[in-house]
Amino acid sequence: MNYLAHLLLAENNPESRIGNLLGDFMKGNIGGKKSPYSPAILKGIRTHFKVDKFTDTHEIFKRSKKRIYSSQGRFSVVLIDVFYDHFLANHWQLFSSEKLEKFAENNYIILQKNNHLLPKKLQLILPRIILENWLVSYKKIEGIERTCQRLSKRIKRPNNFAIAHHDLEQNYQELEADFLLFFPQLVKYVNTNRHTF
C-alpha cells in the first residue's frame, strides 16, 4: 500500500497517522530503548508493517502484480501499491465518510505540526507533498504519471516507471476489480487485529 492507504488505515489520531506513514522510512528494530517515538507512533509503524505483509502475500494483490509483470518485472509490487491508491482515491466514499480533500488537508497539518518527528527524507519532501497535494492527486491518471516519474528518478537501477501509467490504463478494469475485492478484506483485517499490532 502507498501513502493514502496507510493513512486511511491508521487510527483516527495524529500519532497513529504519523506512525503509519513512517513505516515506509523505517528499517530494523523500531522499538528499542532509545526510540524517539511514543508507543502510539510505534504501534502505527507496526501497523504499517502488518498491512504491507498482508498485502504482499494476498492472492488478489499477487494477481494484480502478474497483470503488469511482463513490462515492470519485480518493480510491479511498488507500482500496484501506487495504482491501488489511485483506486482508493476514486472510490474514497466507500471507505470514509470524510471528504478526500479534507482528509488530505488534515493529514498535511498533522505532518507539519510534527515535522521534528519525521525522518530527514520525509522532512525534505513534505513541502512538495503538500504543494502538489499528492494524496488528492492520486485520483487522476496524470497524478499517477507524476508519481511514477518521481519513482523512476529515485530508483538507481534501470526501470520503466516513467511510462508505468500506461500499464494502469491498459489494465484499468481488471486492476480496479482486483482493488475492490482486496481493499475491504484489508480494512477488515486491520480492524479485527489492530489490538494485537
User: What pLDDT digit, counting tens, does each position of 93-141 carry?
Assistant: 999 999 999 999 999 999 999 999 999 999 999 999 999 999 999 999 9
Number of domains in the chain: 1
Q: How far apart are CA 26 and CA 17, in angstroms?
A: 15
Nearest to 191 by CA among 95, 92, 107: 95
- What's residue 36's pLDDT? 81
Q: 0.85 cut: is pTM over it?
A: yes
Burial class (CB in 10 A: 0-12, 13-18, 19+), 17: buried
Distance CA 64, CA 149 (A): 21
**How many C-alpha atoms does 143 have within 13 Å on its Cβ side?**
18
pLDDT tens digits along 64-84: 999 999 989 889 999 999 999
Domain extent at residue 145: 3-196
| CB neighbourhood size of 97 (10 A) | 7
